[in-house]
Amino acid sequence: MNLEEIDKQYVLNTYNRNYVNFTKGSNATLFDDKNNNYIDFTSGIGVVSCGHGNERVSNAISKQASNITHISNLYVIEPQAKLAQKVAQLSGLDVAMFFANSGAEANEGAIKIARKYGETKFNNKKYKVITLEHSFHGRTITTVKATGQKAMHSDNFSPYPDGFTYNAQINDIYNSIDNETVAVMLELVQGEGGVQPFEKEDIQKLASFLKENDILLIVDEVQTGAYRTGEFLASNLYDIQQDIITMAKGVGGGVPIGIVMTTHKDIFEPGDHGSTFGGNYISTAASLEVCNILDEIKNDGSLDETIIYFEKQLRAFYENNTNIFEDIVGLGLMRGLRAKDAQILSSVIENAFDAGILVLKAGKNTLRFLPPLTITKDEIDEGFKRLEKAVEKI
């Protein structure tokens, strides 16, 4: 059997896979088993923030792997504690955190923190969480229900947990709050929903209102975190005080990790939450090195330079192709081009692959770009050159 046949026979069919076999990666360039090369404007859906095959991340993993890979959370784990300290410092917040293995798990943790807060801090039970209609928060039963997109609430997986309500707009949230509402959960730039950033003033107004009314603000930074928008957290850009933040994807740079951090540092006690793998030696040693690298490229100005250069080339590409696209959206290196038509977008993505450039779709009609934060100017130029080729025939 060839690779495609093995995969089809033994792996459950949950993704419409492309059967290119990538065998090597170097920063934002991937190579397949036939030695074709591709420019990666996706970083594995916002994960490989320091690029493919990053030597420092790879050394951190192999050094840790040749020593201790796993002991369990029953013992202190040095890289876990140091990563927690680093993440807290970079966030600029007075937080403590729990380590999980994915974004969905981090969001589960956030919802548990909110529910315990609602149970223990008030005279009446508060448990309802408000989210937005175009949100995406994960694929576990609870985070599927927290996700506001109706299409995700399939009867195949019902019944779902109670306590989630949805609003179309930030400004609708005020009227949905009742005396059982414990939290509002949002992404500041909706990723899967179409790379849609919210207005800073609307978010700041909401954050202050929630604080005054003792309702928790949970910010899902699974996609926006780890400098994706230019700051360590998108929350730093929006300059808000939130109660709970979740991270995953780019903070691991390729290892599975999820983080839920909160200013309510004493909410959990032993027995409330746990994870066998969460925060183990390998994932936290890797993530610590990822955070060090990203902190360095932020401080030496190269990340900001890359963001400006990517924006310039994206804008030039957009202006050449206003017959296909009608808007540029997003922040930092989390960008999108709104296509005039969903059908055309599918052809662009297909042609892009054939031209050797990997891009993503978000929402119904957004061409999405999530390049590694370490992408070089040459890789950006080559990527847009290939993208021009991909749209030539449209």
The window from 25-33, 102-110, 276-284, 385-393 that contacts ligand PLP (CB under 6 A) reads 102-110
Q: Is 80 in the site for ligand PLP (CB under 6 A)?
A: no
Q: Is 363 in the site for ligand PLP (CB under 6 A)?
A: no
Q: Which of 52, 115, 137, 228 binds ligand PLP (CB under 6 A)?
A: 137
CB 100 within 8 A of CB 162: no
Burial class (CB in 10 A: 0-12, 13-18, 19+), 94: exposed
Of 170-199, binders to ligand PLP (CB under 6 A) are 187, 191-192
- Retrieve residue 284's tokens: 């936290």
Select 222 or 261, whichever has its Cβ closest to ligand PLP.
Answer: 222
Owner of token pair 């540092």: 265
Shortest distance, position 170 Cβ to ligand PLP, whole Å: 16
Select 173 or 380, whichever has its Cβ closest to ligand PLP.
Answer: 173
Of 28-67, binders to ligand PLP (CB under 6 A) are none
Shortest distance, position 137 Cβ to ligand PLP, whole Å: 5
Phi/psi of residue 206, nearest 5 degrees: -65, -45
- Retrieve residue 159's tokens: 């019944």
Shortest distance, position 46 Cβ to ligand PLP, whole Å: 7
Residues 138 and 144: their CA atoms lie apart, in Å, by 6
Q: Is 248 in the site for ligand PLP (CB under 6 A)?
A: yes
The sign of the torsion formed by the CA atoms of 172, 178, 181, 183 equals positive
Residues 149 and 284: their CA atoms lie apart, in Å, by 32
The sign of the torsion formed by the CA atoms of 86, 47, 164, 204 equals positive
Q: Which of 30, 104, 206, 314 binds ligand PLP (CB under 6 A)?
A: 104
Q: What is the binding site for ligand PLP (CB under 6 A)?
A: 102-104, 107, 136-138, 187, 191-192, 220, 222-223, 248
